[in-house]
Chain A
Amino acid sequence: MHSPVLVVNDLSVERSGRLAVEKVSFELPSESETAVVGPNGAGKSTLVAAILGLLPRSTGDVQILGQPLSDNGNLPGEIRSQIAYVPQSLALQGRFPLSVAEFVGFGFDPPGPRWPWRDRRERQSAIEQALDRTGCIDLRNRLLSELSGGQLKRVMLSFCVVRPRQLLVLDEAQAGLDVPSNERFQQLLLQLRRQEGWTVLHVSHDLDMVRRSSDQVLGLNRRLCCSGSPDHTLTPERLIDLYGPNVVPYRHQCHG
């Protein structure tokens, strides 16, 4: 039996003088997909940031691949290089002089200082393969700031797949995508997850997608309100508990 990739124990995080996340505990089994759902301001992104060591914890422990996250958010380099992250957006205002291939190349490089000409051939080959696998090879010379939302998200997956990793964290990665782009992104994510053996933790508002793709759902509203399989957690009663009485959940019959 595989040991869990991520263990979160009794995690609390304070932001602006109030507890944004309170006593949250869960585990991510290896090669599973877990969704974090909940209303706006429920602490979903704060939880993810604390797990990645980007925000200080008030209490609790986080272990990634068996290694504890230090109090100042540090992890050994070999563990850190096993983590991939897809944020909601990139700061690409105006013309950003960075090509798609260059960006993906930064996903290949290990943490720490590095001369730009090191491992040049191996790096170039990894970039080409990653772009090919995500259907972005024709975009390699485009500027990152020239891409559409859907293209940018697929390029971000190229960044993740350019070197082998174990844990993929997505923070509302589908935000702003239209329906066809979202569908294409989901299909690509599922395909890469199977090929790479990724363990996935993603924050999402798309409950239909969560129901279809996740093995485990965490319902968060500052505290963990519910957790378990999608069928167990995404019930009308639990969704009303989580989002409030104004939510009217319904289920597509074709998925039922």
Chain B
Amino acid sequence: MVDTQSLALVLAEPFMQRALVGGLLTGALGGLLGSVAVLRELSFFSDALGHSALLGITLGILIGVNPTLVLIPFAVVFAILVNQLVERSSLPTDALLNIVYSTSLAAAILFLSLVETYRGGIRQLLFGDILGVSTLDLIVIGLLLAAALIYLSLSMRAQVLLTLNQDLAGAVGVQTRWHRLAFIVLLAVVVAVSIKAVGVLLISAFVVIPACAGRLLCRRFPVYVCVSAALGGSCALLGLLASGVTNLPSGPSVVMVQFLGFLAAMILSSGIFRRRQRPVAESLTITSSD
């Protein structure tokens, strides 16, 4: 039975307060970058990055360095290499990414089985441990959120035109290679930083679900980006609160709340379309011959 007293007790714990702030920031970050990633059909790329992160962590353990320190450079190098592979190969992108992520996951599990002391931690890596988020983690995620916000605000034209047509973007002066690479590196860093809280298996949900919900609801690009970030943050907060009071695992709880948010967006968007499309269609019969 959930009551306000148990909720208050949970909220009074410092680790829970850090977890809530961490969830809010990670969720917002996922929604923010997810808004562009989903339009650019990079959802599967974020999934592959998440799975490869496990390999990065494993390599850190094997060479005796703190896995968190290894993870960010590993994810960036990995993302650049995969991007090069996708650009140069004639094979379909989804097939290539499937090869990359299943191979890196298999390699990580094989390496992990060699490390006696880490066998018990595999569950944490797969599903995340938001309750273990430190103050330093919060500072890093907060700085990353600020950097992502500034970059996306300054490069909104480049991001949109690059998504719509790469040649159009290049023709009107967008540095297409630079922006493609910058976004992929940013996505890799965000995935690497969020892995600890969210886990390898669920990280793509943080990127994809709030953005898809936002896409259903919004008709203007900046609003879409903000709504995706807000949905990501609020769903993470609600999911963590639900997890705290019901004692269920935190990562899966957040994803279930995100899914409920997505369902609500689907229902709301169908209603919005019915209201808005009628007058536009009527005016078109007078003004357009197309």
User: Chain A residues in contact with chain B, CB under 8 A?
Assistant: 49, 52-54, 73, 75, 77, 80-81, 83-85, 87, 89-92, 94-99, 102-103, 106-107, 109-116, 135, 138-139, 141-144, 148-151, 169, 171, 180-181, 184
Contact = CB atoms under 8 A, between A and B. Distances in A.
Given A89-B165, A102-B221, A116-B153, A52 B173 contact: no
A114 B214 CA distance: 24
Given A111-B172, A111-B174, A92 B221 contact: no
Nearest to B90: A16
Interface of B: 39, 153-157, 160-161, 163-168, 170-174, 176, 214-216, 218-224, 280, 283-284, 287-290
A143 B172 contact: no
A65 to B, nearest CB: 14
B165 A91 contact: yes
Interface SS of chain B: helix, strand, loop or mixed? helix
Contacts of A87: 165, 167-168
B153 to A, nearest CB: 6
Given A95-B215, A97-B224, 9 more contacts: A49-B167, A80-B173, A84-B171, A89-B165, A97-B215, A98-B220, A114-B157, A141-B280, A184-B289
Nearest to A16: B90
B290 A181 contact: yes
Contacts of A114: 154, 157
B164 A91 contact: yes
30 contacts: A52-B170, A54-B171, A73-B170, A77-B173, A81-B173, A83-B171, A83-B172, A85-B172, A89-B165, A90-B164, A90-B168, A91-B165, A92-B164, A96-B164, A97-B214, A97-B215, A97-B218, A98-B160, A106-B161, A110-B173, A135-B287, A138-B280, A138-B283, A138-B288, A141-B219, A141-B280, A142-B280, A151-B290, A169-B171, A180-B289
A255 B29 CA distance: 61
Contact of B171 (A52, A109, A151): A52
B171 A91 contact: no
Contacts of A98: 160, 164, 220-221
B150 to A, nearest CB: 10
The 5 closest A-B pairs by CB, nearest first: A111-B173, A85-B171, A150-B290, A80-B173, A97-B224
Contacts, number: 104
Contacts of B221: 97-99, 102
B172 A107 contact: yes
Nearest to A136: B288
Nearest to B269: A95
A64 to B, nearest CB: 11
A238 to B, nearest CB: 29
A54 B167 contact: yes
A115 B154 contact: yes
B160 A106 contact: yes
Given A97-B214, A138-B287, A151-B290, A113 B219 contact: no
A97 B211 CA distance: 11
Contacts of A91: 163-165
A110 B216 CA distance: 30
Contacts of A53: 170
Contacts of A95: 215-216
B219 A143 contact: yes
Nearest to B162: A91
B156 to A, nearest CB: 6
B183 to A, nearest CB: 14
B161 to A, nearest CB: 6
Contacts of B163: 91
Contacts of B215: 94-95, 97
Contacts of B218: 97
A184 B214 CA distance: 36
A142 B290 CA distance: 15
B145 to A, nearest CB: 18
A6 to B, nearest CB: 13
B157 A106 contact: yes
Contacts of A141: 219, 280
A14 to B, nearest CB: 15
Nearest to A184: B289
Nearest to B220: A99
A113 to B, nearest CB: 4
